[in-house]
Structure 1
Amino acid sequence: MNAHPSKLTTPDLRDECLDGAQCLFDAELHDGPDPVEHPDARAAREDVAKDICATCPVQVACLEYAIRTRPVGGVWAGLTAEEIAQLAARRAVREQLADVYQGVA
């Protein structure tokens, strides 16, 4: 990747995420089985998925993509959808504050 993930368009970022992603080998591990799984089984599966994400060569691009698209489920870049939603909300607040401070300067 020549550009920082934050500089890529969302479609380009999606393509970047797919090139070499470790989750492609076992998508159910990251997305979960259908229809419902026991909470203990889900926690164990997510822990394994997070470990795999930790070694993924496209983790940074995946995180940027997940923050932009805000998935409703699964493990992305080592974070659950709920954790990504929280991170995205914090980022939005930081960006709003940065805009305010830039307007003052």
Structure 2
Amino acid sequence: MSPVPLPVLPLVDLLARLGEQGECRYDPDLHTGPDVFEVEPIAERRARVDAAKDVCESCPVALECLEYALRANPAHGVWAGYTPRGLAALRTQVRAEVPAEVA
């Protein structure tokens, strides 16, 4: 499987594009969850994360969002269909697949 080339934009431009074209702009709480002072039951969190991932599937800037998330390493939220744990696993997988001479 060959890697998908990611666009290389400054982070500020990536954020602008996400804010202007991202499907998450219609319901940002879906992707970020409640604030730190509110308890979200596990079942509700799982349902919210699954719904956010569904929104990401049809997002026109999902690749840019993935690039941002891989570069910014967010601590919470759903980014291009990935949670922070999923992004960490993706980074590990990519590192394992990149030949030593490229890395």
Could you state the TM-score of these two structures normalised by the residue count of structure 1?
0.79
Superposition RMSD on alpha carbons, in Å?
1.9
**One-letter identity of the residue aligned with 2:59:** C
**One-letter identity of the residue aligned with 1:47:** D
Q: Which 5+ residue runs of structure 2 have no aligned equivalent?
A: none
- Greater fraction helix: 1
Alignment of 1:21-40 (within 5 A): 21-34=22-35, 35-40=38-43
Once the two structures are superposed, residues 42-93 of structure 1 have per-residue CA deviations (whole angstroms, 9 ceiling, x without a partner) of 0000111111111111111001100111111111111111101221233345
Distance 1:94 1:60, change over 3 A: same
Q: Which 5+ residue runs of structure 1 have no aligned equivalent?
A: 101-105
SS in 2 for 1:19: helix
The alignment-based identity, stated in percent, is: 39
Hey, what's the Cα distance between the residues in 1 that align with 2:39 and 2:74?
18
Hey, what's the Cα distance between the residues in 1 that align with 2:6 and 2:17?
9
Larger radius of gyration: 1
Distance 1:15 1:98, change over 3 A: farther
Count of aligned pairs between the two proteins = 97
Q: 1:45 aligns with which of 44, 48, 59?
A: 48
Deviates more, 1:45-54 or 1:91-100: 91-100
Contact 1:20 1:57 in 2 (8 A): yes
Contact 1:63 1:77 in 2 (8 A): yes
Does 1:64 pair with 2:48? Answer: no
* 2:89 corresponds to: 86
Could you state the TM-score of these two structures normalised by the residue count of structure 2?
0.80
Hey, what's the Cα distance between the residues in 2 that align with 1:44 and 1:98?
42
Deviates more, 1:15-24 or 1:50-59: 15-24
SS in 1 for 2:21: coil
Distance 1:11 1:97, change over 3 A: farther
SS in 2 for 1:37: coil
